Every structure is written in C-alpha cells, then in structure tokens.
Amino acid sequence: MTARSSAITAAEVSAYADEQIKQASAELWPGGAVRLGQHTPSVTAYVRRLTVDGRPLYAKLSLLGMSLASVLRGTAGDWAQVRAAQAAYRGSPGALLEREARGLAILPGAGARACPVAGLQGGVLFTEPVTGPTLADLLAKDPHQAGELMTRTVIELAGLQQSAVARAVDEVAITERGIGSTFDRKFNGISGPTYLRKAGQAGEVLGSVVLRLRRLRPAPAAGHRPVVYGDLKPDHVVFPDGADGRPVFLDPGLSRGRPQTDAAKLISRTVLNLIASSPDLVAADTTATGIEEFADALTADLSADERAEWLRHLVVLWLMDTTNILSTYLTCPPDLPLAENAGKLTARAETVCGLLEITTAGLVAGTDPRAVWRLALADVVKAANR
C-alpha cells in the first residue's frame, strides 16, 4: 500500500458524501428544502439524517460497495481513484444499495415489515425512519425477554423461504455481507497477516483464532440452501409498537446461506452488546439463558445428532462474525467516527479475544458441540462481568 493511498481522510469522505446526498435529494425532490442532520457513525456505509421539506429521512451512501474502513485504509486506491471509480459504480446495475432497496421491497411479500424506501438516486438510498426501541434496546432493558424476542424475530422471516420470494432474492443477493465472504476477504493468505498486525496486541490472538476457524469452517453446503436475512443484527430490528408488537427490519443483506446464519449473527452481536455494556451478573446470566432458549426453539425438531451438528455450525459462524467485527473495530483508521458501542468493545478486546480463543480451542479439540455451546454461554456470562 502506498503512502498516498493511505492518506484518505474521514473528513474528505464526509464532505463528498454530503454533497452526493444533497445532489441526489435535489434530483429526487426538485426545489425541496434539504437540511442535513446528524451523522450516524458506521464502519460500513455513510449514513446521515436529513429532512426534505420537513420530511425526516435517512440517507445512505456506499463507496464502491466496500466498508468505509477499507476505503480509508486505501484498499481501493487514493482519494482521486476512489471518486473516479465511485462515479462509475453508483449508477451501475447491481450496485450494493440498489440491491438493498430491492431487498426492502421483497420483505413485505415475505410477510415481514420493512422500513419504507423513499428513493434511490445517484448511488444514495433514502429511507423513512422507523421509531421505536430496537431489539438491542429491549434486550438491555429486560433480558428476561431475550429468548422469546430473538425467536419471534427469526420466525417473522419465515416467509423468505417461499419459492417466489426466494427467486426474487436470487436476483438481488447481497453475498458480500455474508459472514463467510467477509471472513475470506479479511483473512486471506496474502493481506490477512498484514491486516491483523494493525490490530495491535490483539492481533496475535486473533491470528490463532483465524487459523482455527479456517480448520473448523464447514465445507460448502450441498443441495438446497435457504434464504437468509444476512445482516440480522439487534440494531436492525425495530419494535415500533413495543415488545408485544411486530418488528420492522432495516438494512437487509438477503442471500442464500446456511440455516444457522441469521441466528449466528444475532447471537454474535447480542453477546458483543452484552460485553460492551458490562451488566450485572443476573442480567448477563439471564441473557445467556435466553440465547440458549432461542437455540433450543430453532432445533426443537432435530434429532440429537442433527442438533449437535447444527450447534457446531452455529458456534463456528458466531465466532467468525465476532472475529470479523472485532478486527474491523481494532484496525479502523483513527479519524473514522465509531459508534459508542464499538469504542467500548475495543477497550474490552482482550476479554472478547479470550472468549474466541477458549471456544475455538474446545471445537478444535473435538469436544462435543453441545458441551462447547453450553461452555461458551457460561464464558459469555464471565466475560460480561470481567
């Protein structure tokens, strides 16, 4: 990587993105009064609140379909190269946000509620805000609901398996947000070691974890693969009518994947939220129990052997996702704004790495996956209280 290619700043990206948002707004709503609001920190896309003639909206801009962290690190070249490539990318068929917009349109046909799309122009996706607590908010407020709410969230997406819906998803699949594809991009044999060196002291432990996860990763699934939401995070599930109402889904990454994919990401991010918040022992233990109930509900119809294999794949995908996002936070350029939660996790990186290390070691040693699963949840409680 050249010195010039690493010189992209967050300020340059922010100024460029704001101009793109203003231009796209003017094209969609000519003559409208556009006021930019608060920026929402993200390591993936540039997101900002705005109003158009008083109408509240969110605007999202994706640079080349890559994460902002990668762009700032110079992965796509210097700033002039990125802007030139973006000018071509933003209007190209199949660009990331075009597929996301189409994915949001698919969800109602699957019987799920999705945030409304207000427009897509010039590579900028505009959506209407959805007010109400997120799944993350509800779990933090009352961990006794964890098992029920996580299970209901996944059940709400059951309609994605309808044949017509699945065919529509295949046309707009967002494969680049998958846990496995993200893991492969980050930790390939060429740039992976260099990338992990940027993670500081945690990089050595993560390097060992990555090697184990490569060994543990299941072979590509043969035959039918279900449709998965693909980016099912607690912050992407909003309950406008409270915990008793139906959720609304944000930021889909619809594609095909393993049956454990959505549960793995939901568990991974719930656990990270738990560790970042440092709850008391009762809250941590209650959340872990809810996660176990969630997995029990998803495997209720499986035989003992099938459940063991299902849990093995679940844990591997969970740990891969955690490794993906923790390494992103640890290697972020210092001027890229991070969400508060991300800052707390980087401060507790040693604790998260310890959880990754001990759980991958158990799997590599051939321990029964059901035992590994139970021990991992017990270690989650310890990690949250450390």
Q: What is the pLDDT of residue 22?
A: 97
| CA–CA separation, 133 and 140 (whole Å) | 11
Has residue 265 got a pLDDT over 50? yes
Predicted pLDDT at 13: 97
Spatial CB neighbours of 304, under 8 Å, sequence gap ≥ 6: none
Q: Residue 4 has what pLDDT?
A: 38
pLDDT at position 301: 97
Whether residue 216 is predicted with pLDDT greater than 60 in this model: the reply is yes
Facing residues of 52 across strands? Answer: 34, 55
Alpha carbons within 13 A on the beta-carbon side of 26: 6
Q: How many residues are there in the chain?
A: 386
pLDDT on residue 53: 97
For the segment 133-173, what is each residue's pLDDT rounded down to a tens digit? 999 999 999 999 999 999 999 999 999 999 999 999 999 99
Q: Mean pLDDT over residues 292-302, rounded? A: 98
Q: How does pLDDT run across 338-361, given as a tens digit for each residue? A: 999 999 999 999 999 999 999 999
Helix (H) or strand (E) holding 99: helix 96-109
84, 114, 128, 161, 194 from 156: Cα distances, Å: 41, 11, 21, 11, 41
The confidence score (pLDDT) of residue 3 equals: 38
* 266 vs 197: which has the higher pLDDT: 266
Angstrom distance (rounded) from CA 213 to CA 199: 18
* CA gap 237, 153 in Å, rounded: 8
Integer Cα distance of 138 and 149 in angstroms: 9
Residue 46 half-sphere exposure toward CB, CA atoms < 13 A: 26
How high is the pLDDT of residue 46? 97
Helix (H) or strand (E) holding 342: helix 340-347
d(C-alpha 290, C-alpha 95), whole Å: 38
Residue 134 DSSP label = B
pLDDT score, position 1: 36
User: Per-residue pLDDT tens for 94-124?
Assistant: 999 999 999 999 999 999 999 999 999 999 9
CA dihedral 149, 155, 160, 164 (to 10 degrees): -140
The percentage of residues in the chain with a pLDDT greater than 70, rounded to a whole number, is 98
Residue with tokens 């006021």: 35
What DSSP character marks residue 48?
Answer: E
DSSP letter at 132 equals S
**Hey, what are 181's tokens?**
């594809």
* Reported pTM: 0.95
Question: Looking at residue 2, what is its pLDDT?
Answer: 38
What's residue 190's pLDDT? Answer: 74
Write out the H or E segment, with its range, that includes residue 256: strand 255-256
Residue showing tokens 């007010």: 131
Rounded to an integer, the average pLDDT of 362-384 is 96
Closest CA to 186 of 325, 26, 74: 325
Mean pLDDT of 298-323: 97
Average pLDDT, the chain: 94
Q: Each residue of 49-101: pLDDT tens digit?
A: 999 999 999 999 999 999 999 999 898 999 999 999 999 998 888 999 999 99
pLDDT band, residue 220 (cuts 50/70/90)? confident
pLDDT of residue 284: 96
Output the pLDDT for position 386: 79
Residue 124's SS3 state is strand
Q: Residue 5's pLDDT band (boundaries 50, 70, 90)? A: very low
**Do the bridges between strand 248-249 and strand 113-114 make them parallel or antiparallel, or are there none, so unpaired?**
parallel
Amino acid found at 385: N
Q: Where are the alpha helices (DSSP H) in 217-331?
A: 261-277, 281-298, 304-331
Residue with tokens 């759980």: 359
At 26-44, the pLDDT tens digits run: 999 999 999 999 999 999 9
Contact 1, 74 (CB under 8 A): yes
Residue 192 confidence (pLDDT)? 85
Exposed (0-12), middle (13-18) or buried (19+): which is 54, by Cβ within 10 Å?
exposed
Nearest residue to 263 via CA among 130, 147, 385: 147
Query: What pLDDT does residue 88 have?
Result: 93
Q: What are phi and psi of 315, to 5 degrees?
A: -65, -40
